[in-house]
Amino acid sequence: MQIKSFRKSFGFKVFRSFALSILVVAIVLSALLVYYQNSMVKKDLYKEGATLADMLAYSIRTWVFAENKDMLKDAVQGVMGQKNVVAVVVYNADKRVLLIEKKQSVKNKKDPFGNDPAAAGKMLTEQAGIVPKTAERGGTIGFLSPVVLETYKNMEDAIYFEESPKQSVQHVIGYVEVVLDKGVLRTEMRSILIRNAVATLLFLLAGSIAIYIAVRRLMRPLTNLALSVQSLGRGETVAKVPVESMDEIGRLAMDFNTMSDSLKKREAEKEMLEEKLRYAQKMEAVGTLARGIAHDFNNILATLRGSIYLIDKKLPAHDELRQYTRQVHASIARAQNLIRGLITFSRTQRIHFHPADLGGIIRRLQPMLANMAGEGVDLEVSLPAGQLMVMSDSIQLEQILMNLCANGRDAMPDGGMLSISLEMVTIGSEAGGQYPPKPGRYAVMSVSDTGPGMDDKTRERIFEPYFTTKDVGKGTGLGLAIVYGIVKQHNGWIWVESEKGEGTTFRVYLPLLENNEEDMEMRGDRP
C-alpha cells in the first residue's frame, strides 16, 4: 500500500526520470566495454595458438625425428593440459600423421573437426603443397609450425676444419599442429556479457537505491504528516509529528500536534475511569476463586484433623511419634485459620449485622490495640463526641481495626506514631475523582502510621490476597485482603493514601445508619 501510494506520488516521478537516465548511460557504457574486451580475447587466442605451436615444435624435434609415439605423447601432454587446446597433431617430414591427441571431453561431446572425422582436423595432407600457418574450421582454429632439425653437412668437414664456422643445414623434419577451441571465445564472450550485465544491474540497483533514498528524504515530512492524519482518523494513538523545518510543511505539522494533544488528554481521563472499574472487577473475581478453593480445602482439613486425632488416640501415651501428630495438628489448625481468613475475604461466612456505634467499638478495643502496637509505637485515638451508628458485624469491624493497626505497626519497626480517628463526612452527588461511594453520609475511620509509606505499584496491589511486602514467613498476605472483603460486605469503601516517606493512611468509609428499615432491606438483597 505504501509502495502503491509512492508510485502515485510526486517523489516517484522525480525518481523515475533519474533512474531512466542512469539506465541509458549504463547500457551504452557496457556495450562499449563488451566490444573492446571481445576483440582483446580473440587477439590473445591467436597469439596463444601460435606461441604454443612454435614452442611445441622446438621441444619435440628429437622425438619427431625418432618417430617415437610414446615419447611424443609424453611431450605433448604439457600442451594438452592447456585450457583451450583441444587437439595436437604431429606430422613427419612426409606429412604423415605421427600422433593425434584429442581432449577426452571433446571426443565425447562432438568432434571438434566438423563433419570429417577421418580428416581429424589435419591441416596438412600428404599431397598439399602449401603449408598454411592458421586455419579456422567450424569451432576450432589450427596453428601449424614446422619442426626443424639443424644437421651438420658432413662429418669430414667437421673433423678437418674444427675452427671454421659451423656449417649447419636446417631440415624440416615434421610439423606440429595445435588446435584451439573457438568455443573458448564463445564462453569468454558469454562470461564478458554476463559480467557486464551483472555490473550494469548492480550499478542500476545501487543508483536506484541512492535516488530512492534521496527522494524519500525529501518527501518524508509530508508522508509522516499524511500517515498521522490517517491514523488519527482511525482513532489510533498518534505520536507527535516531528517538526523538521519552519516552512509550510513544518507549520502544518505544528498545528496538527496541537490538535492531537487535546484529543489525547480527553482519552486519558476516560482510561482512568475504566482502570478503576477493572480493578473492582478483578478483586471480585479473585474473591470468587478463593471461595471455591477455600470451601474444598476446609473439608479436606476437617478430614485430616479427624484422622490425626484418631491416630493420636491410638498411640501410647508416651510414644515418640506423638510429637509428630501434635505438629500435624498444629499445622492443620494454622491452615484452618488461613482458610477462615480466605473465607472471610470471599464472603462465604454469614455475617450478623447489627446497628453499632463505631466510636464505641474503637474505644472498647483501644487498650488491646495499644498493647498490640507494642513498644516504640505510640497510639493516638481521636473520636467525635456523638455516636456514629453503622449497620455492622462488630466482630468483623474489630478485625478490620486489628488488621489495619497490625499493618501499621509492622510498617514501623523502629517506632513511630499510629493514629486512629473517626469522623463523619457527607458525600454529595458532585463528588468524583477518588473511588466514590454513593452520595450520602458516611462514618470514616482512618488509621495512619508514620512508616516509610509505599510506592504506587505496591499501593495498587495492596488489597490482593497473598500480596505482601513483608519478609517471607512474617505475613500471610491476607490481612488487607480480609479488610477489603469486610468493608465491601458493609457496603463501604476503603481507600489508602500513601507517599514514599510520608507514611500511610487507610480510610474506611462505612455508610451511616439513617433509618433502620432501609438497612434491613439492603441486607435482604445480599446474604
Partner 1 sequence: MLNKIDSISAVLLFLLILGLPVFAGAGEIVVLKSADIQPYNEAVEGFTKSCRCNVREIVLNEADGRDILEKIRDADPEAVFAVGMDALNFSKTIGNVPVIYSMVPQSQSLSVAQQSASGVSMYISPEKFIAAILEVFPQAKKIGVIFDARHSGSFVKDADSACRARGIELVAEKTSRPGDIPQLIDSMRGRIDVFLMVPDVTVINPESVKYLLLFSFRNKVPIFTFSRKYVEMGSAAGLYAAPYDMGLQAGEIVQTIVSEKNGKLIRADARKTVLVINRKIINKLGIRVRGEVLGRAEYAD
Cell of 193: 556479457
Quick one: which of 31, 40, 66, 293 contacts partner 1 (CB under 8 A)?
66
From the CB of 159, what's the least distance to partner 1, in Å?
Answer: 4
CB atoms within 10 A of CB 248: 9
446 scored as a contact of partner 1 (CB under 8 A): no
Q: How far is CA 158 from its chain centroid?
A: 93
CB of 120 to partner 1, least distance (A): 23
Q: Which of 44, 54, 67, 460 binds partner 1 (CB under 8 A)?
A: 67
Beta-bridge mates of residue 145: 176
According to CB under 8 A, which one of 30, 48, 57, 63 is a site residue for partner 1?
Answer: 63
Is 58 a residue that touches partner 1 (CB under 8 A)? no
**Nearer to partner 1 (CB atom), residue 151 or residue 331:** 151
Alpha helices in 110-182 (DSSP H): 155-160
Q: Which of residues 158-197 bind partner 1 (CB under 8 A)?
A: 158-159, 162
Which of 9, 38, 62, 399 touches partner 1 (CB under 8 A)?
Answer: 62
The CA-based angle 76-78-79, given to 5 degrees, is 70
DSSP secondary structure code for residue 16 in this structure: H
Minimum distance from CB of 158 to partner 1 (Å)? 4
Which set of grid coordinates corresponds to residue 245? 523545518
Phi, psi of 273 (to 5 degrees): -60, -45
CB of 129 to partner 1, least distance (A): 24
| Least CB distance to partner 1 at residue 56 (A) | 15
Q: If 0-12 CB within 10 Å is exposed, 13-18 middle and 19+ buried, where does residue 288 land?
A: exposed
Among 65, 212, 467, 495, binds partner 1 (CB under 8 A): 65
Check: CB of residue 372 under 8 Å from CB of residue 402: yes
Q: Which segment (148-156, 240-248, 307-315, 499-507) binds partner 1 by CB under 8 A?
A: 148-156
User: Rule CB under 8 A: is residue 151 a binding residue for partner 1?
Assistant: yes
The stretch near partner 1 (CB under 8 A) out of 106-114, 154-162, 195-203, 256-264 is: 154-162
C-alpha cell of residue 50: 601460435
Let me know: does 259 contact 229? Beta carbons within 8 Å: no
How many CA atoms are closer than 13 Å to the CA of 171, on its beta-carbon side? 16
Q: How far apart are CA 348 and CA 339, in angstroms?
A: 11
* 94 counts as binding partner 1 under rule CB under 8 A: no
Q: How many residues contact partner 1, by CB under 8 A?
A: 17
Per CB under 8 A, 149 contacts partner 1 = yes
Q: CB-wise, 74 or 514, nearer to partner 1?
A: 74
User: Which amino acid is it at 71?
Assistant: M
**155 binding partner 1? (CB under 8 A):** yes
Which of 390, 373, 337 has its CA nearest to residue 447? 373
In terms of CB distance, is 60 or 290 closer to partner 1? 60
**Which residues of the chain form contacts with partner 1 (CB under 8 A)?**
61-63, 65-68, 70-71, 149-152, 155, 158-159, 162
